[in-house]
Amino acid sequence: MSKCQQYFLIIIPIVMLMTLTQPVVAAPVELSVEDCTALALKNNYDIKYAQSSREKYYWAVKQAEKSKGVSISATHTDQRYNTPPSETGTGTYEYTNNFDNQLELTLPIYSGGELESEIEQAKLALKVADLNTEATKQQLKLTVVSDYLTVLQYLNEVRVNQETVKNYEDHLKLVKDKFDLGMVAKTDVLSSQVSLAGAQNDLITAQNNYTNAVAALNNAIGLPHATEVTLKDVFTYEKYPQTLEKCLTYAVAHRPELAQYEAQIASAQYDVDIAKSGWRPTVNFTADQDWYGSHLPGSKNSNWLVKLTTTFNVFDGGLTDSEVKQAHHNVDMVKDQALQQRDTILLNVRQYYLSMHEAEKQMDTTKVSVDQAEENLMIQKASYEVGVGTNLDLRDAVLALDSAKKDYIQALYDYNTNKAKLEQAMGLPVQ
């Protein structure tokens, strides 16, 4: 084998190893609002908890239903005992072995309405769990949309800050050129440098806010916090088509928390029936089959028993009456909570609707401010270049444009955020 071949046999594995061990830079994940919502519904722990809770109440219904059915128990007993001489009359102890096998069947015929009410309560608890899952989805969607909008807000602020830094850099270069020609004082250069440094600090803050906002979004949708994301959607404005009255009506009919309280009121009323069952008789059916003997397995002898037992509480010292009164007051308490929740929801709908329209009006005014600030900056640049304007006027114009653009971004963010809050307050379903 030639030296050249030996060289290639050595170098090729090394190259392949280096290739395989090169760090792979993951491409940014492109996500829309719908993508983020779908990921959150799949990965978020609040949804998993709500789904597990729903399964728990599903099996609680099964458990309650089985309480009215037939139950069969089998018991095997081994025992050895002695009989003293005083009873045997023989002067010695007598020892006896006994092996017993018992099969018992029980069936509740009538429970005074207690078991029936418990079954209905279990079904209502399952309904509440289903509604809680839907409410959790709606709240999670609001969180995801808000986090998505926050990322967009800080991304736009970063871009505005970058433009502001660029404007200050261009201005500083112009001031330095004029200073070199002896046309302006040193103070103009220093003040421009201070303005540039302030803009650079604002840019650093905005970049950090953006990074933290991305981490918060990743946390909500179940991705690693450091995952780089590219947002498909942008800030948009779409006029909301519904009136306040329609939004309020929709919330009353569709908000899952209100339906939950309706189920809880019905459940509390079943508590009244359960308490009243103490005044009613209970009827139980029992059937026993018994095998026993002195030797294992204890099957020499057998007997059976069938009985119907009716129990009626004649006097309990007022215990049942106290339980009934407690249950009635509990119904009133749940009703009061339901009314308070309804008022809170309707207040939230009203507040978010009005805040959304406030932001809508601010968008119009801030858009005009942006246009005017851009025009003013052009005028101040031209004036300063020809020596008519002052350094302070130009720096103020840059700052005014920066402020106007951020005000517009904030108004657009507020509009979309309040719109998302309004839809959650109304109880719009998550698709």
CB atoms within 10 A of CB 110: 15
Cα dihedral angle (176, 182, 187, 189), rounded to 10 degrees?
Answer: 0
Per the listing, tokens 């128990």 go with 73
User: Which of the listed ranges 90-99, 176-185, 250-259 does the model predict with the highest average pLDDT?
Assistant: 250-259
| Statement: residue 380 has pLDDT above 90 | yes
pLDDT (mean) for 130-142 = 95
Q: Given a cut of 70, is residue 154 above it in pLDDT?
A: yes
E strand intervals along 145-253:
229-231
Given a cut of 90, is residue 89 above it in pLDDT?
no
Instruction: Write out the DSSP string of 224-288.
Output: -TT--EEES-----------HHHHHHHHHHH-HHHHHHHHHHHHHHHHHHHHHGGGS-EEEEEEE
pLDDT tens track for 390-402: 999 999 999 999 9
How high is the pLDDT of residue 386? 87
**Dist. CA 147–CA 129, nearest whole Å:** 27
pTM of the model: 0.81
Q: What is the pLDDT of residue 2?
A: 56
Give the model's pLDDT for residue 6: 52
pLDDT (average), residues 261-274? 96
Q: What is the mean pLDDT of residues 178-192?
A: 91
Q: What is the pLDDT of residues 289-307, one digit of tens each?
A: 999 998 888 888 999 999 9
The pLDDT, as a whole number, for residue 26 is 56
Six-digit token pair at 356? Answer: 């959304």
Answer yes or no: is pLDDT of 10 > 70: no
**Per-residue model confidence (pLDDT) at position 23:** 45
Which spans in 289-390 are helix H? 319-385
Which residues make beta-bridge pairs with 104?
Answer: 73, 288
Note the pLDDT tens digit of each residue in 331-356. 999 999 999 999 999 999 999 999 99
Q: Are strands 229-231 and 29-31 parallel, antiparallel or unpaired?
A: parallel
Name the residue among 327, 326, 334 with its Cα closest to residue 265: 334
Average pLDDT over residues 369-394: 92
Q: State yes or no: pLDDT of 269 exceeds 90.
A: yes
Percent helix, strand, coil in the chain (nearest 5)?
70, 15, 20
The closest alpha carbon to 214, from 227, 200, 232, belongs to 227
Options 3.30.750.24, 3.40.640.10, 3.40.50.300, 1.20.1600.10; CATH of 27-69+112-281+318-426: 1.20.1600.10
Q: Which of 1-15, 25-39, 75-89, 275-289 has the lowest mean pLDDT?
A: 1-15
The mean per-residue pLDDT over the stretch 99-124 comes to: 95
Per residue in 243-256, pLDDT (tens digit) is: 999 999 999 999 99
Per-residue pLDDT, 25: 43
